[in-house]
Amino acid sequence: MAQEENERIVIPDDEGNEHLFDVLFTFDVDETGKSYMVLTEAGEQESDEEEEEVEVFAFRFEDAGEEESDISLFPIETDEEWDMVEEMVETFSADDGEL
């Protein structure tokens, strides 16, 4: 079974070090008009033989520029947003059989 290539993004930390992440999925919430992105560190999913939990990261995002790849990431701050993201991750995990 061939693994499809995930979209990857680079996120700098507070010290300016760049970290590579795989985009698991994105989703929009029509009621709020907000968009969310769920990520894993690049390479985390490659060891399918081991049944380890994969750490996921979630952000709210907005288009930040004219280029398609320009986005701004924002931390998720409310419990309601976290609950919604967790539900989406669980649904993704169940559908995809991964994570």
Spans of all domains in the chain: 8-96
Q: How many whole angstroms separate alpha carbon 14 and alpha carbon 7?
A: 23
Per-residue confidence band for 82, with pLDDT thresholds at 50, 70 and 90 = very high
Residue 44: pLDDT band with limits 50, 70, 90? low
Q: What is the pLDDT of residue 98?
A: 57
* pLDDT the model gives residue 2: 43
> Which pTM does this prediction carry?
0.77
* Average confidence (pLDDT) over 15-23: 94
From 56, 58, 5, select the one nearest 35 (Cα to Cα). 58
Q: How confident is the model at residue 3 (pLDDT cuts 50, 70, 90)?
A: very low
Sign of the CA dihedral with 81 first, then 65, 15, and 46 last? positive
When pLDDT is cut at 50, 70 and 90, the band that residue 79 belongs to is very high
